[in-house]
Amino acid sequence: MGAVVVAALDVTASDLLGPLYCSVAVPAGFPSPAQDYFTGRIDLNQHLIKDITSTFLVRVSGHSMNGAGISDGDEWVVDRSITPVDGNVVVAIVDGELTIKRLRLEHGRVRLAAENPDYPDVVVPELAELTIWGVVTRCLHRL
């Protein structure tokens, strides 16, 4: 199903403080030289984490989610306090095995959908043990 590495977040506010160079959105077209000034610091905790006590970083292993822009080695911010709904990308445990897929609830059945046609979806059998471990809120992707 694919391996995942889970790590608890152990950070203080100052750990995720970084410089905020411009207080306005940066256009993807031509740069504006008038907006190259420093305006203070940005707290990544506020932007990435809703509840630090239930948030974990998960490293993706495998290619089953490539179609969603998620690559092998990416890191996810996963919140265990969010109630999963149809369409969420989740970390699931099916019969003791971890997997990362898109949650699909269809006609009383659960399907964990891959985002790559080379990988099969996981249709969870009625008698299988399923735990939705957490809901993915962000994907940290290296360029």
Q: Which residues are catalytic?
A: 64, 101
The C-alpha atoms of residue 129 and residue 13 are separated, in whole angstroms, by 38
Q: What is the CA radius of gyration of the chain?
A: 18
Q: Cα–Cα distance between 79 and 43 in angstroms, integer?
A: 18
The position carrying tokens 């990416």 is 74
Name residue, tokens 């239930």. 54
DSSP, residue by residue, 61-112: -SSTTGGGT--TT-EEEEETTSPP-TT-EEEEEETTEEEEEEEEEETTEEEE
